[in-house]
Every structure is written in structure tokens, then in C-alpha cells.
Amino acid sequence: MSTTHPLTTTTFDLPGYRVTKNFGVVRGIIVRSRSVVGNLGAGIQSLFGGNITIYTDLCEQARDEAFREMITHANQLGANAVIGVRYDATEIAAGITEVLCYGTAVQVEAHA
């Protein structure tokens, strides 16, 4: 289940809105590891080729959690939108990955 928010965008503007206040960078960080059972299941799936759904689901869940954490951070600052949203992932140890979602928290108003 992927979470979305109507006032987030990868661009730096929201059509029909104008930025009235900039709160700066907000982020959501999740650190995930692969389980032994997950690795076993993925290993079996890889024997048959194609999409390894166990890892796809794990990645989607991590991105969704990082996105929700970023939105929470923006809400705590009083923002009602996040622009310039990006994702990044870094393996910090064998089987352990950091997923980062970040953007610029802003206050927007609809154009009059």
C-alpha cells in the first residue's frame, strides 16, 4: 500500500498554488534489513527469473514508511506541502539499507 499526499511533488512548484513560507528540508529515514526467511524466499524466486516480489514488497514498504515519516516531519513544522521530493537508498552494512525520503517543506495557498 503506497501512501500519497495531494500536496507533494517532485517539482518545485504546485500548479494552482503559490509558496508563502519555506520551512526548509524535511526527511524520513528508515533502516531495513533482509530477514533470513525473506532471503531464502527471494533465492527461490530468483531461480525462476523475473521480478523478485519479496524484495519488491520490502522496498515499497520502506519507501512508503520513509515518505510517511517525511510528511510527519513537515506537519510538525506547520507545512501543508512538500516540494522537490526525492528518495535515496544506501547500503550501510551487508543486508542493511537506509531509505531516505526528503524534500522542502512549504506553506502554500491556492491562487486567487
Model confidence over 20-78: pLDDT tens digits? Answer: 999 999 999 999 876 555 555 545 555 555 666 767 788 889 999 999 999 999 999 99
d(CA 59, CA 62): 5
In this structure, what DSSP letter does residue 75 have? H
pLDDT for residue 6 is more than 70: yes
Strand partners of residue 88 = 100
Cβ pair 69, 81 in contact under 8 A? no
Q: Which of 99, 97, 102, 109 is nearest to 73 (CA)?
A: 102
What pLDDT does 56 receive? 77
pLDDT for residue 16 is more than 70: yes
Cβ pair 60, 52 in contact under 8 A? no
What pLDDT does 93 receive? 83
Go through the domains of the chain in sequence order and give each one's CATH number.
17-110 (3.30.110.70)
